[in-house]
Amino acid sequence: MCAWFCSGRSNTELVHRLRASNVITSERVKEVMLRLDRGNYAPNFAYDDSPQYLGYEQTISAPHMHAHALELLKERLVPGATVLDVGCGSGYLTAAMARMVEPKGRVVGIDIVKPLVSLAKSNIEKADDDLLTKGVVTLECKTGWEGDKEKGPYDAIHVGAAASSVPRSLVEQLKVGGIMIIPVGPEGGNQVLCRVQKIKDQGPIEETFVAQELLGVRYVPLVRQSPHG
């Protein structure tokens, strides 16, 4: 996607370069990314099209990957939808998806690292605090392998860390017709971004969804237990 050509000196320049490079292909995604200043969510080099370290062995994904995720999920990110963001990290993608499903939709952001849940909350509060006060965004400390069944089922699920296999519990929490975007593969090995669609509720789990491999990626692992509390 020639991502290194998309860096900008401002949020506006970054987004326009992503659009000019056809990483962003829709007006909805462009407008949402223009509205959310990445400078409120990335600690350093906010407008570089590269991942940035958040601490706790976690990163905020490069802007082109956020744009790609929004484009892949946009058919389900409609007003009134219910969404799960696994690995909310900086809070950026949680807030972006919330802007696409507001005012009556809801995005549940979860992270296994408790300090990152607090970071996501403080970042959203900088300029997008209405998402919290109106209940469009809910943030919880939970494991991505288990998700958040109580607040589902979900029209869309985004997973921001690589799982060794598609988590059964997350598939079960999708609505029929719902879509999940998830990187799959071993830590440090070959990983593939997959589009998973729930096709039915009944039957063996492997028969309830279809998965499409999209592109090679490199993500931090989806861990089952946080070493950081």
CA 102, CA 16: separation in Å to the nearest integer?
24
What number is the average pLDDT over the span 144-168? 95
Q: How far apart are CA 11 and CA 142, in angstroms?
A: 31
Contact 228, 56 (CB under 8 A): yes
Average pLDDT, the chain: 93
Distances (CA, A) of 160 to 37, 90, 201: 20, 11, 24
| 118 labelled catalytic | no
Q: What does the pLDDT read at residue 228? A: 59
CA quadruple 82, 220, 166, 22: dihedral positive or negative? positive
Tell me the per-residue pLDDT of 5-14, one tens digit each, with 9 for 90 and over.
789 999 999 9
Give pLDDT, residue 31: 98
pLDDT beyond 90 at 91: yes
Stretch 153-165: mean pLDDT: 96
- When comparing pLDDT for 224 and 41, which is higher? 41
Helix axes 92-101, 27-35, angle to 10 degrees: 130
| Cα 27 from Cα 185, distance rounded (Å) | 32
Is the pLDDT at 189 greater than 50, yes or no?
Answer: yes
User: Residue 4 has what pLDDT?
Assistant: 55
Q: Which CATH class is domain 63-217?
A: alpha beta
Cβ atoms of residues 83 and 112 within 8 Å: no
Confidence band, pLDDT 50/70/90 cuts, at residue 187 = confident
Return the ∠ at Cα 154 (arms to 152 and 156), rounded to 5°: 150
Q: Which of the following is catalytic: 61, 90, 169, 226? A: 61
Whether residue 160 is predicted with pLDDT greater than 70 in this model: the reply is: yes
- What is the domain partition of the chain in residue ranges? 63-217
> Residues 6 or more apart from 44 whose CB is under 8 A from it?
52, 53
pLDDT at residue 227, as a whole number: 61
pLDDT-derived band at 30 (thresholds 50, 70, 90) equals very high
pLDDT of residue 1: 44
3 has pLDDT over 80: no
- Residue 34 pLDDT > 60, yes or no? yes
